[in-house]
Structure 1
Amino acid sequence: MSRPIRIGLQIQPQHAEYKQIRQAVADAEETGVDIVFNWDHFFPLSGDADGLHFECWTMLAAWAEATSRVEIGALVTCNSYRNPDLLADMARTVDHISGGRLILGIGGGWFQRDYDEYGYEFGTPGTRLADLSEALPRIRARWAKLNPRPVRDIPILIGGGGEKKTLRMVAEHADIWHSFSDARTLARKSEILAEHGAAVGRDVTSIERSTAVRAPGGSSPDDIAGDLLASGASLFTVTASGPSYDLGPVREWVAWRDERNRAKA
């Protein structure tokens, strides 16, 4: 399936006052990105471990009011932190506030400090993935019961590349699969995803392939994106961290997107 190239920006909600985060979101929308993500943690993941930091879902609700065009979501929500039915209701509410622009990014969770400090059971990777597998159908079932229902069929983005469990869940439930893989690994895991799709009776070419991109050493998108495109990726997400939120790299990716999409038209 030939898809238009899309560009995301993950605005990491760390080391910045909220007014700086809000300005970065406004600048990203003006720049032309397709999706603005945050993340679902309670503490910074880099720099000062006790630095400035803000919560994910209350922020997404604010972004829903503060933006008018971009899709918004978490890259990714930690399934462990909220009851699945509550999360479904939160997502439905943000979807309405935004006029139908929410993406529900979700994963099994991994950052132990979040769990320990907020009193969640960390468990094991296996138990966290089992909980996610149980949560995903509950989320969809709750959306069907809510009044009003979501504005649209909320896209589900699943993050991760575990070949036995995560990719099975992607085949069963995801509209978008986010991988942190290089091109060769992405291609191999896509073959495994196709096997899971065959097992569950789904054509996985309907799933958008997403990847995080970091241009090494100032490389341009043309230097690093070709192999990812050939491996099936069409959604490319750049990261920006506080307090400065340098959007220079994402502007390069937006310009590259526009050039490539025009060439395909």
Structure 2
Amino acid sequence: MTQVRIGVQIAPQHASYQQIRDTVVELEQLGVDVLFNWDHFYPLSGEPDGLHFEGWTMLAAWAEQTTRVEFGCLVTCNSYRNADLLADMARTVDHISAHDDGTGRLIFGIGSGWFERDYDEYGYEFGTPGTRLDALAEAMPRIEARWSKLNPAPTRDIPVLIGGGGEKKTLRIVAQHADIWHSFSDLETLNRKKRILAEHCEAVGRDVSEITLSSAFGNAAPTEVGDALVEAGVRLFTIGISGPDYTQDLGKIKAALAWRDSL
């Protein structure tokens, strides 16, 4: 069976950067496989104007701080940056994170965006879900083309993770460009959307098995839902944690790691 990996999304909200940095150290030492943050400008829960930090500058720090884990945004908002600039940022973080063998550890997570306050406060046009998805579809070839032109090139074919479940547009973009699909869905919905993704893959001439499925445990314990999700093809499981106290979910993370190691 393909290796199951455990990710943790450290929400960069309601905590000092020292707390975030210490949490990154602890999670890497525990054996977590992937660390994520997110790409927002304000908290998504709790006090709306609480402590919050920007995601991509944080990823550059994580690239220097860590030595083993893969990492990235879950997910980058395509709307916030010029596509070619974003490709260059990702390439640079990829190099910063390189192992001794020269291979970087960045996972390039991206989506079309949804949090209206980010757009309004920072002066971006919010548009509609359809226009934002169209913009993502236009950006992905530009990002891939820029990676092919940069000197130095990325250290590897940077894995692309696309998040979202829209059946007509999002899953087609996944079929065309993603190495990992983060579904944001429950088991029943995942199984239905898998079939739709396979249809999109067939249409663009791609084998759906090339795309790793990514999901979450939700509020359930890993042992309650993990086996069924593995049976459905999920190979990357992510647990979300938030400030002010990142340690409150360490028990669930340790249980997930133990479950992973038991497979």
Per the shorter chain, which TM-score range?
A: over 0.9
1:176 equivalent in structure 2: 180
1:109 equivalent in structure 2: 113
Quote the offset at 1:229 in angstroms: 1.4
Q: How does 1:185-204 map to 2 (within 5 A)?
A: 185-204=189-208
- Give the gaps of 5 or more residues in structure 1: 261-265
Q: Which moved more, 1:54-63 or 1:244-253?
A: 244-253
Q: Report the TM-score when normalising by structure 1.
A: 0.95
Is 2:136 the partner of 1:132? yes
Distance 2:204 2:2 in 1: 23
* Alignment check: 8 A CA contact 1:40 1:56 kept: yes
1:231 equivalent in structure 2: 232
| Paired residue type of 1:95 | D
SS in 2 for 1:255: helix
SS in 1 for 2:72: strand
Quote the offset at 1:234 in angstroms: 1.1
| Paired residue type of 1:249 | K
Is 2:87 the partner of 1:83? no
SS in 1 for 2:3: coil
* Alignment check: 8 A CA contact 1:16 1:242 kept: yes
1:34 equivalent in structure 2: 33
What whole-Å deviation, never above 9, does each CA across 1:54-84 have from its counterpart, x for those lacking one? 0000000000000000001000000000000
What whole-Å deviation, never above 9, does each CA across 1:207-256 have from its counterpart, x for those lacking one? 0000022333xxx3111112211211111000110121022211110111
| Paired residue type of 1:38 | N
Q: Report the TM-score when normalising by structure 2.
A: 0.96
What whole-Å deviation, never above 9, does each CA across 1:103-143 have from its counterpart, x for those lacking one? 00000000000000000000000000000000001001000
| Paired residue type of 2:179 | D
| Paired residue type of 1:12 | A
| Paired residue type of 1:121 | E
* Alignment check: 8 A CA contact 1:92 1:143 kept: yes
2:92 equivalent in structure 1: 93
Distance 1:11 1:152 in 2: 25
Distance 2:81 2:116 in 1: 16
* Alignment check: 8 A CA contact 1:107 1:159 kept: yes
Q: How does 1:1-265 map to 2 (within 5 A)?
A: 2-99=1-98, 100-216=104-220, 220-246=221-247, 247-260=250-263
SS in 2 for 1:102: coil
* Alignment check: 8 A CA contact 1:187 1:232 kept: no
* Alignment check: 8 A CA contact 1:136 1:173 kept: yes
| Paired residue type of 1:67 | T
Distance 1:77 1:251 in 2: 27
Quote the offset at 1:31 in angstroms: 0.8
Distance 2:257 2:55 in 1: 25
* Alignment check: 8 A CA contact 1:44 1:53 kept: yes
Distance 2:210 2:261 in 1: 23
Quote the offset at 1:188 in angstroms: 0.7
Distance 1:248 1:76 in 2: 25
| Paired residue type of 2:256 | W
Distance 1:85 1:22 in 2: 29
Quote the offset at 1:47 in angstroms: 0.3
Distance 1:113 1:165 in 2: 24
Distance 1:10 1:104 in 2: 14
Distance 1:170 1:236 in 2: 18
Distance 2:127 2:142 in 1: 21
